[in-house]
Amino acid sequence: MKKCLLWGPTVKIPLLDIVKMHQPIRAEILSAMEEVVDSGSFIGGSYVEQFESELAAYTGTARAVGASSGSDALLAALMALEVKPGDEIITTAFTFFGTAGAIVRLGARPVFADIDPVTFNIAPDDLEKKVSERTVGILPVHLFGQAAQMDKIDAVARENGLWVVEDAAQSIGAMYGDRMCGSMGTAGIYSFFPAKNLGCVGDGGAVVTNDHALAEKIAVLRNHGSKPRYYHRLVGGNFRLDALQAAVLSVKLPHLREWEEKRRAAAATYSRLLAESGLYVTPAEVPGNRHVFNQYELRVKRGKRDAAAARLKDAGIGHAIYYPVPLHLQECFAGLGYKRGDLPVTEQASGEVLALPILVDEDTCKHIVSVLMTV
Protein backbone atom coordinates (compact mmCIF):
# COMPACT_ATOMS: atom_id res chain seq x y z
CA MET A 1 0.00 0.00 0.00
CA LYS A 2 1.24 3.43 -0.89
CA LYS A 3 0.52 6.70 0.90
CA CYS A 4 -1.32 9.29 -1.15
CA LEU A 5 1.09 12.19 -1.50
CA LEU A 6 -1.64 14.75 -1.28
CA TRP A 7 -2.94 14.39 2.25
CA GLY A 8 -5.32 11.59 1.33
CA PRO A 9 -5.98 8.30 3.07
CA THR A 10 -3.78 5.28 2.46
CA VAL A 11 -4.41 4.28 -1.15
CA LYS A 12 -3.04 1.85 -3.72
CA ILE A 13 -3.29 4.36 -6.55
CA PRO A 14 -2.50 7.89 -5.35
CA LEU A 15 -4.14 10.92 -6.95
CA LEU A 16 -0.65 12.05 -7.89
CA ASP A 17 2.58 10.14 -7.23
CA ILE A 18 5.14 12.94 -7.25
CA VAL A 19 7.98 10.74 -5.99
CA LYS A 20 7.48 8.34 -8.92
CA MET A 21 7.23 11.26 -11.35
CA HIS A 22 10.58 12.58 -10.10
CA GLN A 23 12.35 9.22 -10.24
CA PRO A 24 13.96 9.58 -13.72
CA ILE A 25 15.39 13.04 -12.83
CA ARG A 26 15.97 12.49 -9.10
CA ALA A 27 19.78 12.64 -9.41
CA GLU A 28 19.58 15.87 -11.43
CA ILE A 29 17.25 17.46 -8.87
CA LEU A 30 19.53 16.49 -5.98
CA SER A 31 22.63 17.73 -7.76
CA ALA A 32 20.96 21.09 -8.49
CA MET A 33 19.99 21.36 -4.82
CA GLU A 34 23.52 20.47 -3.76
CA GLU A 35 24.90 23.15 -6.06
CA VAL A 36 22.70 25.80 -4.44
CA VAL A 37 23.67 24.66 -0.93
CA ASP A 38 27.36 24.82 -1.87
CA SER A 39 26.96 28.24 -3.52
CA GLY A 40 25.64 29.90 -0.36
CA SER A 41 23.37 31.96 -2.65
CA PHE A 42 19.92 31.29 -1.23
CA ILE A 43 17.95 34.51 -1.67
CA GLY A 44 17.71 36.01 -5.15
CA GLY A 45 20.86 35.63 -7.25
CA SER A 46 21.74 33.68 -10.36
CA TYR A 47 19.52 30.58 -9.84
CA VAL A 48 16.41 32.74 -9.54
CA GLU A 49 17.44 34.96 -12.46
CA GLN A 50 18.17 31.95 -14.65
CA PHE A 51 14.80 30.34 -13.97
CA GLU A 52 13.04 33.67 -14.53
CA SER A 53 14.59 34.03 -17.98
CA GLU A 54 13.79 30.39 -18.84
CA LEU A 55 10.19 30.90 -17.74
CA ALA A 56 9.80 34.11 -19.76
CA ALA A 57 11.13 32.31 -22.84
CA TYR A 58 8.89 29.28 -22.25
CA THR A 59 5.75 31.36 -21.83
CA GLY A 60 6.59 33.82 -24.60
CA THR A 61 6.52 36.82 -22.28
CA ALA A 62 8.94 39.71 -21.83
CA ARG A 63 9.53 39.18 -18.11
CA ALA A 64 8.96 36.59 -15.41
CA VAL A 65 9.26 37.50 -11.74
CA GLY A 66 9.60 34.61 -9.28
CA ALA A 67 7.45 34.65 -6.15
CA SER A 68 7.09 32.68 -2.93
CA SER A 69 3.80 31.09 -4.08
CA GLY A 70 1.04 31.48 -6.63
CA SER A 71 -0.99 33.28 -3.97
CA ASP A 72 1.81 35.79 -3.34
CA ALA A 73 2.39 36.21 -7.07
CA LEU A 74 -1.27 37.18 -7.39
CA LEU A 75 -1.11 39.51 -4.41
CA ALA A 76 2.02 41.23 -5.75
CA ALA A 77 0.45 41.64 -9.21
CA LEU A 78 -2.70 43.21 -7.75
CA MET A 79 -0.60 45.45 -5.47
CA ALA A 80 1.40 46.61 -8.50
CA LEU A 81 -1.88 47.43 -10.26
CA GLU A 82 -2.77 49.53 -7.20
CA VAL A 83 -5.91 47.67 -6.23
CA LYS A 84 -7.47 49.50 -3.29
CA PRO A 85 -10.42 49.24 -0.91
CA GLY A 86 -13.72 49.68 -2.72
CA ASP A 87 -12.42 48.43 -6.07
CA GLU A 88 -14.35 45.59 -7.69
CA ILE A 89 -12.63 42.76 -9.52
CA ILE A 90 -14.69 40.28 -11.50
CA THR A 91 -13.66 36.67 -11.12
CA THR A 92 -15.03 33.15 -10.76
CA ALA A 93 -16.27 31.44 -7.61
CA PHE A 94 -15.30 28.03 -9.01
CA THR A 95 -11.60 28.12 -8.19
CA PHE A 96 -9.07 27.68 -5.42
CA PHE A 97 -9.52 30.11 -2.53
CA GLY A 98 -6.31 32.03 -3.30
CA THR A 99 -7.84 33.66 -6.38
CA ALA A 100 -10.38 35.68 -4.39
CA GLY A 101 -8.25 35.75 -1.24
CA ALA A 102 -5.74 38.07 -2.92
CA ILE A 103 -8.53 40.51 -3.84
CA VAL A 104 -9.99 40.58 -0.34
CA ARG A 105 -6.58 40.91 1.32
CA LEU A 106 -6.25 44.27 -0.45
CA GLY A 107 -9.65 45.42 0.79
CA ALA A 108 -11.20 45.11 -2.67
CA ARG A 109 -14.37 43.21 -3.53
CA PRO A 110 -14.50 40.04 -5.63
CA VAL A 111 -17.57 40.09 -7.87
CA PHE A 112 -18.32 36.55 -8.94
CA ALA A 113 -19.55 35.72 -12.44
CA ASP A 114 -21.00 32.29 -13.20
CA ILE A 115 -19.11 29.68 -15.23
CA ASP A 116 -19.39 27.96 -18.56
CA PRO A 117 -20.87 24.49 -17.88
CA VAL A 118 -18.53 22.78 -20.34
CA THR A 119 -15.11 24.22 -19.43
CA PHE A 120 -15.83 25.26 -15.81
CA ASN A 121 -14.23 28.64 -16.66
CA ILE A 122 -15.77 32.10 -16.26
CA ALA A 123 -18.73 32.71 -18.60
CA PRO A 124 -18.01 35.88 -20.63
CA ASP A 125 -21.73 36.74 -20.96
CA ASP A 126 -22.21 36.79 -17.21
CA LEU A 127 -18.90 38.56 -16.73
CA GLU A 128 -20.10 41.39 -18.98
CA LYS A 129 -23.26 41.79 -16.88
CA LYS A 130 -21.20 42.19 -13.70
CA VAL A 131 -19.19 45.25 -14.84
CA SER A 132 -19.96 48.35 -12.75
CA GLU A 133 -18.41 51.79 -12.36
CA ARG A 134 -16.29 50.36 -9.53
CA THR A 135 -14.82 47.55 -11.62
CA VAL A 136 -11.07 47.94 -12.13
CA GLY A 137 -10.08 44.56 -13.50
CA ILE A 138 -10.93 41.00 -14.49
CA LEU A 139 -9.29 37.96 -12.90
CA PRO A 140 -10.11 34.92 -15.06
CA VAL A 141 -8.83 31.50 -13.98
CA HIS A 142 -7.69 28.86 -16.46
CA LEU A 143 -9.04 26.01 -14.38
CA PHE A 144 -7.79 22.41 -14.32
CA GLY A 145 -5.35 23.08 -17.20
CA GLN A 146 -7.79 24.55 -19.72
CA ALA A 147 -7.92 28.09 -21.12
CA ALA A 148 -10.76 30.50 -20.37
CA GLN A 149 -12.32 32.30 -23.36
CA MET A 150 -9.72 35.04 -23.53
CA ASP A 151 -10.92 36.74 -26.73
CA LYS A 152 -14.30 37.50 -25.17
CA ILE A 153 -12.75 38.43 -21.81
CA ASP A 154 -10.31 40.78 -23.55
CA ALA A 155 -13.16 42.39 -25.48
CA VAL A 156 -15.04 43.16 -22.23
CA ALA A 157 -11.80 44.50 -20.71
CA ARG A 158 -11.06 46.73 -23.70
CA GLU A 159 -14.60 48.12 -23.88
CA ASN A 160 -14.52 49.05 -20.21
CA GLY A 161 -10.87 50.07 -19.77
CA LEU A 162 -10.06 47.21 -17.37
CA TRP A 163 -6.87 45.28 -16.75
CA VAL A 164 -6.82 41.47 -16.96
CA VAL A 165 -4.72 39.34 -14.62
CA GLU A 166 -4.83 35.67 -15.58
CA ASP A 167 -4.75 33.12 -12.78
CA ALA A 168 -2.89 30.40 -14.65
CA ALA A 169 -1.82 28.67 -11.42
CA GLN A 170 -3.07 25.34 -12.82
CA SER A 171 -2.34 25.96 -16.47
CA ILE A 172 1.30 26.50 -17.34
CA GLY A 173 1.75 25.06 -20.83
CA ALA A 174 -1.96 25.20 -21.68
CA MET A 175 -2.63 27.01 -24.95
CA TYR A 176 -5.37 29.32 -26.14
CA GLY A 177 -4.81 29.06 -29.88
CA ASP A 178 -1.10 29.82 -30.22
CA ARG A 179 -0.80 31.78 -26.95
CA MET A 180 0.07 30.28 -23.60
CA CYS A 181 -2.23 30.69 -20.64
CA GLY A 182 -0.76 33.38 -18.41
CA SER A 183 0.83 35.30 -21.29
CA MET A 184 -2.22 37.06 -22.73
CA GLY A 185 -3.37 39.54 -20.10
CA THR A 186 -1.87 42.57 -18.42
CA ALA A 187 -0.11 39.96 -16.26
CA GLY A 188 -0.47 36.25 -15.50
CA ILE A 189 0.45 34.16 -12.50
CA TYR A 190 1.63 30.57 -12.04
CA SER A 191 1.83 28.38 -8.97
CA PHE A 192 4.66 25.89 -8.50
CA PHE A 193 2.90 24.09 -5.63
CA PRO A 194 4.14 20.48 -5.86
CA ALA A 195 0.88 19.14 -7.38
CA LYS A 196 0.92 21.62 -10.25
CA ASN A 197 2.12 20.48 -13.69
CA LEU A 198 5.38 22.31 -12.95
CA GLY A 199 5.84 21.94 -9.22
CA CYS A 200 8.82 22.67 -7.00
CA VAL A 201 9.78 20.93 -3.75
CA GLY A 202 7.88 23.36 -1.55
CA ASP A 203 6.03 26.55 -2.36
CA GLY A 204 6.77 28.78 -5.33
CA GLY A 205 5.10 30.93 -7.94
CA ALA A 206 5.71 33.59 -10.58
CA VAL A 207 4.18 36.53 -12.38
CA VAL A 208 4.71 36.93 -16.11
CA THR A 209 3.99 40.07 -18.12
CA ASN A 210 4.95 41.91 -21.29
CA ASP A 211 4.92 45.22 -19.42
CA HIS A 212 8.48 45.94 -18.26
CA ALA A 213 7.48 48.72 -15.86
CA LEU A 214 4.88 46.46 -14.21
CA ALA A 215 7.42 43.62 -13.91
CA GLU A 216 9.91 45.95 -12.30
CA LYS A 217 7.31 47.17 -9.81
CA ILE A 218 6.37 43.58 -8.91
CA ALA A 219 10.07 42.71 -8.49
CA VAL A 220 10.44 45.62 -6.06
CA LEU A 221 7.20 44.82 -4.21
CA ARG A 222 8.22 41.18 -3.64
CA ASN A 223 11.23 42.52 -1.74
CA HIS A 224 9.44 44.83 0.71
CA GLY A 225 9.41 47.61 -1.90
CA SER A 226 13.15 48.02 -1.38
CA LYS A 227 15.30 49.49 -4.17
CA PRO A 228 18.09 50.27 -3.66
CA ARG A 229 18.45 48.11 -0.58
CA TYR A 230 16.96 49.70 2.55
CA TYR A 231 15.35 52.55 0.55
CA HIS A 232 11.59 51.96 0.29
CA ARG A 233 9.41 53.75 -2.25
CA LEU A 234 6.61 51.21 -1.84
CA VAL A 235 5.24 48.99 0.91
CA GLY A 236 5.59 45.44 -0.37
CA GLY A 237 6.26 42.15 1.37
CA ASN A 238 8.55 39.15 1.35
CA PHE A 239 7.19 37.40 -1.72
CA ARG A 240 10.50 36.00 -3.00
CA LEU A 241 11.15 32.68 -4.75
CA ASP A 242 13.95 30.72 -3.02
CA ALA A 243 17.09 29.90 -5.03
CA LEU A 244 16.65 26.23 -4.06
CA GLN A 245 13.17 26.13 -5.62
CA ALA A 246 14.34 28.05 -8.70
CA ALA A 247 17.16 25.55 -9.29
CA VAL A 248 14.73 22.60 -9.04
CA LEU A 249 12.30 24.35 -11.40
CA SER A 250 15.10 24.83 -13.94
CA VAL A 251 15.70 21.08 -13.87
CA LYS A 252 12.00 20.29 -14.24
CA LEU A 253 10.93 22.84 -16.88
CA PRO A 254 12.46 20.93 -19.84
CA HIS A 255 10.37 17.87 -18.82
CA LEU A 256 7.06 19.69 -18.63
CA ARG A 257 5.99 18.78 -22.18
CA GLU A 258 6.63 15.07 -21.68
CA TRP A 259 4.58 15.04 -18.43
CA GLU A 260 1.81 16.94 -20.24
CA GLU A 261 1.77 14.27 -22.94
CA LYS A 262 1.35 11.56 -20.29
CA ARG A 263 -1.50 13.52 -18.70
CA ARG A 264 -3.14 14.01 -22.09
CA ALA A 265 -2.78 10.30 -22.94
CA ALA A 266 -4.43 9.25 -19.65
CA ALA A 267 -7.20 11.81 -20.22
CA ALA A 268 -7.82 10.43 -23.72
CA THR A 269 -8.04 6.87 -22.35
CA TYR A 270 -10.49 7.84 -19.59
CA SER A 271 -12.62 9.88 -22.00
CA ARG A 272 -12.72 7.05 -24.55
CA LEU A 273 -13.68 4.42 -21.97
CA LEU A 274 -16.29 6.59 -20.26
CA ALA A 275 -17.80 8.07 -23.42
CA GLU A 276 -20.88 5.85 -23.44
CA SER A 277 -21.34 5.50 -19.69
CA GLY A 278 -24.41 7.73 -19.38
CA LEU A 279 -23.43 8.55 -15.79
CA TYR A 280 -20.15 10.39 -16.33
CA VAL A 281 -19.55 13.55 -18.35
CA THR A 282 -15.93 13.68 -19.45
CA PRO A 283 -13.99 16.96 -19.75
CA ALA A 284 -14.39 18.67 -23.12
CA GLU A 285 -11.42 19.90 -25.09
CA VAL A 286 -11.96 23.08 -27.07
CA PRO A 287 -10.68 22.66 -30.65
CA GLY A 288 -7.58 24.77 -31.30
CA ASN A 289 -6.67 24.98 -27.61
CA ARG A 290 -4.41 22.66 -25.62
CA HIS A 291 -5.72 21.27 -22.34
CA VAL A 292 -2.86 20.16 -20.04
CA PHE A 293 -5.02 18.34 -17.48
CA ASN A 294 -3.66 19.57 -14.19
CA GLN A 295 -6.80 17.76 -13.14
CA TYR A 296 -8.99 15.29 -15.01
CA GLU A 297 -12.33 16.48 -13.73
CA LEU A 298 -15.42 14.37 -14.39
CA ARG A 299 -19.00 15.34 -13.76
CA VAL A 300 -21.02 12.56 -12.14
CA LYS A 301 -24.73 12.89 -12.95
CA ARG A 302 -27.92 11.73 -11.20
CA GLY A 303 -26.66 12.80 -7.74
CA LYS A 304 -24.16 9.93 -7.69
CA ARG A 305 -20.90 11.86 -7.22
CA ASP A 306 -20.48 10.92 -3.56
CA ALA A 307 -21.32 7.28 -4.31
CA ALA A 308 -18.66 7.24 -7.05
CA ALA A 309 -16.13 8.82 -4.66
CA ALA A 310 -16.97 6.20 -2.01
CA ARG A 311 -16.50 3.39 -4.53
CA LEU A 312 -13.05 4.76 -5.47
CA LYS A 313 -12.14 5.10 -1.81
CA ASP A 314 -13.09 1.48 -1.10
CA ALA A 315 -10.97 0.38 -4.05
CA GLY A 316 -7.94 2.35 -2.75
CA ILE A 317 -8.01 4.85 -5.62
CA GLY A 318 -7.02 8.47 -4.93
CA HIS A 319 -9.53 11.11 -6.00
CA ALA A 320 -10.56 14.64 -5.03
CA ILE A 321 -13.41 17.11 -5.26
CA TYR A 322 -12.27 20.44 -6.68
CA TYR A 323 -14.20 22.37 -5.33
CA PRO A 324 -16.90 21.28 -2.92
CA VAL A 325 -17.94 24.78 -1.77
CA PRO A 326 -17.81 27.59 -4.33
CA LEU A 327 -16.22 30.79 -3.09
CA HIS A 328 -19.42 32.87 -3.00
CA LEU A 329 -20.77 30.44 -0.37
CA GLN A 330 -17.65 30.32 1.81
CA GLU A 331 -18.23 31.39 5.40
CA CYS A 332 -15.48 34.01 5.36
CA PHE A 333 -17.16 35.74 2.39
CA ALA A 334 -20.63 35.89 3.96
CA GLY A 335 -20.20 39.67 4.19
CA LEU A 336 -20.20 39.87 0.39
CA GLY A 337 -23.92 39.06 0.52
CA TYR A 338 -24.13 36.12 -1.87
CA LYS A 339 -26.62 33.31 -1.32
CA ARG A 340 -27.25 29.83 -2.74
CA GLY A 341 -28.87 30.15 -6.15
CA ASP A 342 -26.87 33.24 -7.18
CA LEU A 343 -24.48 31.23 -9.38
CA PRO A 344 -26.46 28.16 -10.47
CA VAL A 345 -23.96 26.70 -12.94
CA THR A 346 -21.13 27.01 -10.41
CA GLU A 347 -23.24 25.44 -7.67
CA GLN A 348 -24.25 22.52 -9.85
CA ALA A 349 -20.60 21.87 -10.79
CA SER A 350 -19.60 21.79 -7.11
CA GLY A 351 -22.10 18.99 -6.52
CA GLU A 352 -20.98 16.90 -9.50
CA VAL A 353 -17.22 17.14 -9.97
CA LEU A 354 -14.76 14.35 -9.24
CA ALA A 355 -11.04 14.38 -10.09
CA LEU A 356 -9.24 11.13 -11.01
CA PRO A 357 -5.52 10.20 -10.90
CA ILE A 358 -4.01 11.65 -14.06
CA LEU A 359 -0.31 10.72 -14.30
CA VAL A 360 -1.13 7.03 -14.69
CA ASP A 361 -0.68 4.41 -17.42
CA GLU A 362 -3.38 2.91 -19.62
CA ASP A 363 -3.90 -0.22 -17.52
CA THR A 364 -4.40 1.88 -14.40
CA CYS A 365 -6.94 4.05 -16.25
CA LYS A 366 -8.78 0.89 -17.31
CA HIS A 367 -8.83 -0.40 -13.74
CA ILE A 368 -10.15 2.95 -12.42
CA VAL A 369 -12.84 3.03 -15.10
CA SER A 370 -13.88 -0.55 -14.26
CA VAL A 371 -14.42 0.56 -10.64
CA LEU A 372 -16.41 3.64 -11.76
CA MET A 373 -18.61 1.41 -13.93
CA THR A 374 -19.81 -0.46 -10.83
CA VAL A 375 -21.58 2.69 -9.51
Ligand X SMILES: Cc1ncc(COP(=O)(O)O)c(C=O)c1O
Q: Residue 23: count other Cβ atoms within 10 Å of its Cβ.
A: 10
Closer residue to ligand X, CB minimum distance, 61 or 69: 69
# residues near ligand X by CB under 6 A: 15
* Binding span for ligand X by CB under 6 A among 65-73, 77-85, 241-249, 298-306: 65-73
d(CA 357, CA 21): 13
d(CA 270, CA 298): 10
DSSP 24-84: GGHHHHHHHHHHHHHHT--BSSHHHHHHHHHHHHHHT-SEEEEESSHHHHHHHHHHHTT--
How far the first Cα of the chain sits from its last, in Å, is 24
Q: Segment 175-194, which members bind ligand X (CB under 6 A)? A: 191, 193
- Closest approach of Cβ 71 to ligand X, in Å? 3
Return the H-helix or E-strand segment holding 281: strand 280-281
Backbone angles phi, psi at 71, to 5 degrees: -65, -45
Given 71, 92, 119, 245, the residue binding ligand X (CB under 6 A): 71
Q: Does position 197 bind ligand X by CB under 6 A?
A: no
Given 87, 167, 347, 352, the residue binding ligand X (CB under 6 A): 167
Sketch the per residue contact string, 231 through 250, with ligand X: x for CB under 6 A, - otherwise. --------------------
d(CA 203, CA 269): 31
Q: Does position 120 bind ligand X by CB under 6 A?
A: no
* Binding span for ligand X by CB under 6 A among 82-90, 92-100, 177-185, 233-241: 92-100
Given 83, 123, 141, 266, the residue binding ligand X (CB under 6 A): 141
d(CA 260, CA 266): 10
Q: Does position 137 bind ligand X by CB under 6 A?
A: no
Q: Which positions touch ligand X (CB under 6 A)? A: 69-71, 95-96, 98-99, 141, 167, 169-170, 191, 193, 203, 205
